[in-house]
Structure 1
């Protein structure tokens, strides 16, 4: 019971310390009071509109902000009370619905410190983290995870594939105080590891010894030509020979056509260039491995995970085809809270799939009906043309003069 009491106290203290720094569900039009469009010159920025899209599970609950203009940059951000991640988990989570079946465009978010000025945000604005899906053609369908360290943006050195369908998906990044991380899609882990191992945030621990050189007598050839092997006397044969079955055409005129020569064919006896056979090299020492030494420029960073200040989040995107819906933005240090926030995701996805099937069927039926109407209209036009043609071919009958009766 003593240990149980300690556990309860610990759980209570953890719950009391856990914080939600930003939670945005875009539940009504007041979202525009907190989010600010960039006015940075030189680019024509697109607008977001609040909507649940063309198909959804619950129109009210599923409403988010959607990119609304094709071939546009988007720059929208908001700031909140700054915090440090020292000694805490950092969870960044949001949902993305590429309803338009996106061909090329971003679906990620950027996390900023307090130096961000929302009205001036643009592609080169410094950020602390960038996370989320990016799709462009069949070759790029990845989840970006970029960490800024010492003013340098460093991309994860693992390839994480994103979802590329038209339904809502949740993306979660968790960075822990033990310098590990986890990436989740729809609440399921898709990648994890150590920050130092999976990003080039620090110089390498080991480097090749600049003083070391491969010894001159080091033989790294696994095999060598057999010195006792010799070329057979009948080896050398021409690669091509005159066709023995060819005959001079009857109409060949030596004076007009020149001296006749038979065409050349591949020589069946040709053996190619002779090379001595290979044997094991008795002097082989194996592949030479360059020795390594400790890198004098490497210094371990025990708090590599730590962000001294987080103060803003923004969408800084380019989209060829608009229609992406962002929703359920969450920044917290509470992993369990983030997991609970996704409790209705599967129901939403199932509802979207059913709604999409119904929408597709309705559109297909409408298209078929229009095709039938068009075909019917053509038949009516043909009937009218036939009637007109018949009228043109009716012989004209002169009317009898009533006075002659």
Structure 2
């Protein structure tokens, strides 16, 4: 045994891997060297400021805000009473913030430093990692919103070929019939639902006619119209067909 596993769905392999690497059943064989230190001359900056890029002349003189060129002094502004009028300021579209040199690829980039791996002193191999000597029960953990799922033909064996053979002799012989039965049940369900639709449509039409009759009544016969409307509604509810599978 090489401690590998294989998952088959409908007797077709869907996933395979190693018990050592795919689950934390044992401590890792290798760990990062806790004593390792990044070399002082290791350059892990992938990008650096371009040494050839120069700040434009007058860049620092560009103000953050400028007077609003569209602002006008109010006609009722009195300089003697209100003081000297100054236009409000707005953000300067020419201001780009503090100058920074553009970035370029670092020619001395050494890559992201990682500590080297060493043998894990706590690792102890288990050649029988796949063995479960005290296995007595089988549990299936899943989440679903519909009931009716059945599980059968559960087998525990150390012979993969026997398991495949048993699958073909049980599930393999029944899968086509089960699929046909399922499709037939779905077809009957759709037919029943399509038969129910006209009944529901007629009931809705009756309710609309009852509402229109109630609105057409004048104010003098409001009470009488209300009684007729109630009667119509009762007839509609009595004639409404509710399929048994919806109750």
What SS does the aligned partner of 1:190 have? strand
Q: Taking structure 1 as reference, are residues 178 and 215 closer, same or farther at Cα in structure 2, changes over 3 Å only?
A: closer
Partner Cα separation in structure 1 for residue 6 and residue 71 of structure 2: 75
Is 1:221 aligned with 2:51?
no
Match of 2:90 among 258, 265, 270: 265
Map of 2:122 onto structure 1? 297
TM-score, reference length from structure 1: 0.44
- Name the counterpart of 1:233: 57
Cα offset, 1:232, TM superposition: 2.1
Alignment partners' CA distance in 2, 1:231 and 1:284: 25
2:192 pairs with 1:351: no
For the Cα contact (< 8 Å) 2:79–2:85, is it kept in 1? Answer: yes
CA contact (8 A) 2:50 2:104 kept: yes
Query: More helix by proportion, 1 or 2?
Result: 2
Between 1 and 2, higher relative CO (CA 8 Å, sep ≥ 6) is seen in 1
Alignment partners' CA distance in 1, 2:83 and 2:9:
78
Match of 1:178 in 2: 2
Q: Deviations over 1:230-285 (max 9, x none)?
A: 42222121233222132123355668977654343342322332112345545443
- Which ranges in structure 2 are unaligned for 5 or more consecutive residues? 225-247
Contact 2:153–2:170 (Cα < 8 Å) also in 1: no
| Residues 260/363 of structure 1: CA separation in 2 closer, same or farther (3 Å cut) | farther
Distance in 1 of aligned mates of 2:29 and 2:14 = 27
- Displacement of 1:207 after TM fit? 0.5
Larger Rg: 2
Choose 377-386 or 234-243, whichever is displaced more. Answer: 377-386
Asked whether the equivalents of residues 180 and 194 of structure 1 are also in contact (C-alpha less than 8 Å), the reply is yes
Count of residue correspondences: 213
Report the 3-state secondary structure (helix = DSSP H, G, I; strand = E; otherwise coil) of the residue aligned with 2:171: coil
> Where is the strand percentage greater, Structure 1 or Structure 2?
1
1:69-102 residue CA offsets vs partner (Å, 9 max, x unmatched): xxxxxxxxxxxxxxxxxxxxxxxxxxxxxxxxxx
Q: 1:306 to 1:258 in 2, by over 3 A?
A: farther
Deviations 1:281-323 (A, max 9, x none): 454433323111101111222221111122223466777x552
Residue 10 of structure 1: aligned partner: none
Instruction: Kindly indicate whether the alpha-carbon contact (under 8 Å) linking 1:231 and 1:276 is maintained by their aligned counterparts in 2.
Output: yes
Cα deviation 1:298-355 (Å, max 9, x = unaligned): 1222221111122223466777x55242232412323221243222324423432342
Q: Which residue of 2 aligns with 1:287?
A: 112
Q: TM-score, normalised by structure 2?
A: 0.68
1:372, 1:253 → 2: CA distance?
A: 78
Q: Distance in 2 between matches of 1:371 and 1:380?
A: 14
Cα distance change of structure 1 residues 354 and 257 upon mapping to structure 2, 3 Å threshold:
farther
Match of 1:248 among 64, 73, 92: 73
Q: How does 1:4-403 map to 2 (within 5 A)?
A: 177-227=1-51, 229-236=53-60, 237-252=62-77, 260-281=85-106, 283-314=108-139, 321=145, 323-333=147-157, 334-336=162-164, 337-343=166-172, 344-376=174-206, 379=209
1:178-227: CA deviation from partner (whole Å, max 9, x where unpaired): 32222233333322111112111111111011111112232222343344
Counterpart contact for 2:4–2:16, Cα < 8 Å: yes
Q: 1:382 to 1:211 in 2, by over 3 A?
A: closer
Deviation readout 1:15-47 (Å, 9 max, x if unpaired): xxxxxxxxxxxxxxxxxxxxxxxxxxxxxxxxx
In structure 1, C-alpha distance between the alignment counterparts of 2:57 and 2:18, rounded to whole Å: 65
Q: What is the CA-CA distance between 1:381 and the residue it aligns to?
A: 8.4
Change (3 A) 1:377 1:270: closer
- 8 Å CA contact 1:179–1:304 kept in 2: the answer is yes
In structure 2, what is the Cα distance between the partners aligned to 1:206 and 1:262? 70
